[in-house]
Amino acid sequence: MTDSQHPVRPTDPRTVSELAEAVHAGLPSTIADLSSLVRIPSVSWDAFDPAHVAESAEAVAQLVRETGLFDEVTVSRAPIGDTGATGQPAVLARREARDGKKTVLLYAHHDVQPQGDDAHWDTPPFEPTLKGDRLYGRGASDDKAGVMTHVAALRAVREVVGDDLGVGIALFIEGEEEFGSRSFADFLAQHRDQLAADVIVVADSDNWSTSVPAITVGLRGNVTFRLTVRTLAHASHSGMLGGVVPDAMMAMVRLLASLHDDDGGVAVAGLRSRDAQHPEQSEETLREESGLLEGVRTIGHGPLLSRVWSQPSITVTGIDAPTVANASNTLSPEVSVRISARVAPGQPAAEAYEALREHLLTDPPFGAHVSIDDVDTGDPFLVDTSGPAIADVTVAMTEGWGEAPVQTGIGGSIPFIADLVKTFPHAEILVTGVEDPDTRAHSPNESQHLGVLQKAILTEAILIARLDAEIR
Ligand SMILES: [Zn+2]
């Protein structure tokens, strides 16, 4: 389903069946190429050998060159702000649009998370292993399958549409998404013209299941800061003054308790929720996935998925206070905590921060001195589902999967999407993906479902063919 105002016409059935044939015929080489990429342990974290990331960038660049669609494919790096350091290598290619057609930017990343403890893997993490419908290995899904989705879709499109493809194509395969995309903003600034597009496909998210696709339309933002409460100029013996002056912990506990209502719902005026429809998730699944202990209740209000996708949340993620081992009979003069809040799509992170600040600083318990510092914010992201590209991808998914997509949210954030929105405010961003609920990205035994891969490739090929048939 789509809220789009744009006419949703099906793709020419002959094009769809020719693309399906090409994707199917190409699948063995797609899987072979994916396997070769998985064999390169391209972990982008500082403590790992950057030679592997460089090697995987070259391997991806070669695959992109072999599509024959680009005059020039480069491996480039950008600085990381003014730190003097340089980011990991990304692959960049562009083919200009012709005849007034749109340009689509295809994004994925070729770096991976560390494999963790080898003992937790049933098969060697960097030895791609086929079992049943799934290919196992670190990066087999996140996000080397995203890389191969772009490559294989381009191969199929070239085969079916031919060399006179008019739609513009930009390709950006990042090399450090798993390490915070540190040079992403600089990369965008440096290569603005090469990356400029009307539609951006970010192939790094999830599907509803192996048979139902999803398009991610909402991502929560975040606000984090240190909160400090002071009540006394110095520590005092609890026997001498306990019961007459408040210690900082007592005031902090009361202050933190005021952030939630009795059901654990957020109770801060000014933090907004997003009004949206949510698919049903069973409490049983949630309990199992989260490891919620017997008898412990869920928190908040409304459908379970609305609490994660469309409502704010507030968590205390750290505390500086005397440790239990070092505790003496003392009234603490000062306590600090780290607050991590998630912001619902639709509310600017700065506005959410103001609401939290107002709540915490106004009339604190016992008149305690409350201060906030070390603030970090990231805006949420909400796709305008009335745009023409959403209509296109919805049709393409329906034709590629044989099932209409579910519009989903993500409780977490993809911070670089905010950079994309800032640099290309007029582009439509489509967050698609190759994962499914059993992918285990970032965990041991990560795997890619090959049926999902095939459907994701076909979807993207159809999307590109549709854009090729449209005038801007
Ligand atoms: Zn990823």
DSSP track, 251-310: HHHHHHHTTB-TTS-B--TT------------HHHHHHHHTPPTTPPP-SSS-HHHHHHT
Confidence (pLDDT) at 2: 45
- Give the C-alpha distances (Å, rounded to integers) separating 285 from 103, 292, 411: 41, 10, 16
pLDDT digits (tens, 9 = 90+) for 84-143: 999 999 999 999 999 999 999 999 999 999 999 999 999 999 999 999 999 999 999 999
Structure tokens at 15: 């094009």
pLDDT band at 273 (very low <50, low <70, confident <90, very high): very high
Residue 145 CA to ligand 1 center (angstroms) comes to 10
pLDDT digits (tens, 9 = 90+) for 412-428: 777 788 889 889 999 99
The residue count of the chain comes to 472
Residue 440 CA to ligand 1 center (angstroms) comes to 11
pLDDT digits (tens, 9 = 90+) for 126-167: 999 999 999 999 999 999 999 999 999 999 999 999 888 999
- Collapse the DSSP code of 458 into the 3-class scheme (helix H, G, I; strand E, B; otherwise coil) and give the result: helix
Classify residue 304 as exposed, middle or buried by CB count within 10 Å of its CB (0-12, 13-18, 19+): middle
CA dihedral 360, 361, 364, 370 (to 10 degrees): 100
Residue 127 CA to ligand 1 center (angstroms) comes to 19
CA dihedral 188, 194, 200, 202 (to 10 degrees): -60
pLDDT band at 1 (very low <50, low <70, confident <90, very high): very low
Residue 142 CA to ligand 1 center (angstroms) comes to 5
Residue 109 CA to ligand 1 center (angstroms) comes to 7
Structure tokens at 41: 């342990």
Euclidean distance between CA atoms 396 and 388, whole angstroms: 12
399, 11 contact by CB (below 8 A): yes
Residue 131 CA to ligand 1 center (angstroms) comes to 22
For residue 110, the number of C-alpha atoms closer than 13 Å in the C-beta half-sphere is 37
Residue 396 CA to ligand 1 center (angstroms) comes to 22
Contacts of 463 (CB under 8 A, 6+ apart): 104, 201, 392, 393, 396
Residue 86 CA to ligand 1 center (angstroms) comes to 21
pLDDT digits (tens, 9 = 90+) for 207-260: 999 999 999 999 999 999 999 999 999 998 888 899 999 999 999 999 999 999
Structure tokens at 165: 């493809």
Residue 144 CA to ligand 1 center (angstroms) comes to 9
Which residue type does 244 have? V
Residue 246 CA to ligand 1 center (angstroms) comes to 47
Structure tokens at 442: 């970032």
Euclidean distance between CA atoms 38 and 122, whole angstroms: 16
- Predicted TM-score of the model (pTM): 0.86
Residue 434 CA to ligand 1 center (angstroms) comes to 10
Q: Which of 53, 32, 29, 30 is nearest to 41 (CA)?
A: 53
Residue 183 CA to ligand 1 center (angstroms) comes to 16
Residue 347 CA to ligand 1 center (angstroms) comes to 25
| Residue that is written with structure tokens 């381009």 in the block | 154
Residue 376 CA to ligand 1 center (angstroms) comes to 22
For residue 136, the number of C-alpha atoms closer than 13 Å in the C-beta half-sphere is 14
- Give the C-alpha distances (Å, rounded to integers) separating 253 from 67, 216, 246, 249, 259: 60, 37, 11, 6, 10
Confidence (pLDDT) at 7: 63
The b/e string for 180-193 (b: 16+ C-beta within 10 A; e otherwise) is ebbbbbbbbebbee
Residue 123 CA to ligand 1 center (angstroms) comes to 21
Residue 115 CA to ligand 1 center (angstroms) comes to 14
Q: Over 60: is that where the pLDDT of 3 sits?
A: no
- Collapse the DSSP code of 12 into the 3-class scheme (helix H, G, I; strand E, B; otherwise coil) and give the result: coil
pLDDT digits (tens, 9 = 90+) for 322-374: 999 999 999 999 999 999 999 999 999 999 999 999 999 999 999 999 999 99
Which residue type does 205 have? S
